[in-house]
């Protein structure tokens, strides 16, 4: 049942998600833990909606950036055996909540490790931690000169620190331009994990691979992979897709992308109007009619994530045809030229991202119009829009 109060909405395809997860699990191996990355409101798909949907598709491990996302994921989960892992921000005074709710978290500072041991001892339950090692990203991670103190802290508090993982993150595995840097990181991670093992510190899981490194560097597939953009049906970039199909010609032979877009974004025609030739449409003088034109207003604007920079260049689908934006994109509405589209009526479906008839507006085409990455377009879809599973 659609929300009759909302001017636009998002649809999530369960069959597409299941196809993506099945393809990726088959690729990485069934014994590898598939951690679904749901940071950025599940890449715009909505944590509240996506977590139970992914659980229906067999996912039991989720990665978030911060503790607020972890709390949302825990609340959204419908399975007792689902686990949530925080890869980034958690304040020391929230660590107790994480321990109590069996949420694991990355350690990239000694201060956080000490706080985890103290809180775990106070609560009487081990903290589940992942040691995030600095291998060359130079953003977050324990530096090699901190390893000695890290190992000693773990030994001193072995009863209260459960080492769920040893991990790192690669600095741009989607681009061949970073190949040397990635190889150096792979080598360092192997060296560093060997050092910890020599100290008697073993991890439950060794994990380094995101979507890009999983697809471009199979050797980075370890005990667990952290899959973000790919599970939603998008390749990290075109280069990754081309490399993959070149490496696996049997996929290329099918002439079909093994990943399917999960998300669609839709609205409706709010009103139609006939505008004579030689008239400006909307605010200012950015669009002048060159003939007698039929214009439709759509109740979606830059407050909904349809950027103002799509003025006179954006495209939506109406009645299976491409309708170009005509005039300034406003805060809450936009106007499109429907002169050459027959029989457009108030209430007709408008597709911003998705399929309609034989036409499709992809996230890639939408992002190219905005000069954005896929990631940026997705996460800017407001969390307030209703989501529906289809």
Secondary structure of the chain in HEC code, one letter for each residue:
CCCCCCCCEEEECHHHHHHHHHHHHHHHCCCCEEEEECHHHHHCCCHHHHHHHHHHCCCCEEEEEEHHHHHHHHHHCCCCCCEEEEEEECCHHHHHHHHHCCCEEEECCHHHHHHHHHHHHHHCCCEEEEEEECCCCCCCCECHHHHHHHHHHHHHCCCCEEEEEEECCCCCCCCHHHHHHHHHHHHHHHHHHHHHHHCCCCCCEEECECHHHHHHCHHHCCCEEEECHHHHCCCCCHHHHHHHHHHCHHHHHCCCCCCCCCEEEEEECCEEEEECCCCECCCCCCCECCCCEEEEEECCCHHHCCCHHHCCCCEEEECCEEEEECCCCCCCCEEEECCCCCCCCCCCEEEEEEEECCEEECHHHHHHHHCCCHHHHHHCCCCCCCEEEC
Per the annotation, the verdict on 155 as an active-site residue is no
Per the annotation, the verdict on 283 as an active-site residue is yes
155, 247, 254, 283: which is the annotated catalytic residue? 283
Ligand-binding annotation for 331, yes or no, is yes
25, 39, 72, 266: which is the annotated catalytic residue? 39
Ligand-binding annotation for 89, yes or no, is no
Binding residues are 139, 331
Binding residues for substrate are 139, 331
> Residues with catalytic annotation?
39, 283
């Amino acid at each position: 049942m659609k929300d009759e109060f909302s001017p636009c909405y998002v649809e999530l395809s369960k069959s597409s998600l299941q196809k993506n997860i099945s393809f990726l699990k088959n690729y990485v191996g069934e014994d590898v833990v598939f951690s679904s990355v749901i940071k950025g409101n599940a890449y715009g798909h909505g944590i509240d909606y996506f977590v139970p949907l992914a659980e229906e598709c067999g996912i039991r491990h989720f990665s978030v950036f911060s503790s607020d996302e972890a709390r949302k994921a825990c609340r959204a989960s419908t399975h007792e055996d689902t686990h949530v892992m925080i890869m980034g921000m958690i304040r020391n005074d929230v660590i107790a909540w994480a321990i109590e709710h069996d949420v694991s978290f990355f350690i990239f500072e000694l201060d956080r490790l000490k706080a985890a041991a103290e809180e775990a001892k106070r609560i009487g339950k081990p903290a589940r931690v992942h040691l995030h090692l600095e291998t060359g990203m130079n953003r977050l991670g324990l530096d090699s000169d901190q390893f000695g103190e890290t190992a000693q802290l773990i030994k001193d508090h072995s009863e209260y620190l459960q080492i769920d993982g040893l991990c790192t993150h690669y600095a741009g595995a989607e681009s061949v331009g970073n190949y040397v840097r990635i190889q150096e990181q792979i080598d360092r991670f192997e060296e560093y994990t060997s050092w910890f093992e020599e100290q008697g510190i073993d991890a439950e899981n060794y994990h380094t691979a995101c979507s890009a490194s999983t697809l471009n560097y199979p050797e980075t597939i370890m005990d667990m992979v952290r899959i973000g953009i790919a599970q939603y049906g998008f390749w990290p970039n075109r280069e990754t897709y081309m490399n993959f199909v070149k490496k696996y010609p049997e996929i290329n032979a099918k002439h079909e992308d093994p990943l399917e877009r999960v998300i669609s974004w839709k609205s409706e025609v709010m009103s139609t109007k006939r505008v004579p030739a030689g008239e400006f449409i909307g605010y200012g003088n950015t669009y002048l009619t060159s003939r007698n034109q039929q214009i439709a207003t759509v109740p979606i604007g830059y407050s909904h994530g349809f950027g103002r920079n799509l003025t006179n260049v954006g495209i939506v689908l109406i009645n299976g045809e491409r309708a170009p934006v005509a005039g300034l994109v406003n805060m809450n509405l936009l106007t499109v030229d429907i002169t050459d589209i027959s029989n457009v009526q108030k209430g007709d479906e408008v597709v911003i991202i998705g399929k309609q008839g034989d036409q499709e507006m992809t996230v890639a085409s939408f992002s190219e119009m905005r000069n954005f990455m896929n990631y940026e377009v997705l996460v800017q879809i407001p969390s307030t829009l209703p989501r529906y599973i289809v």
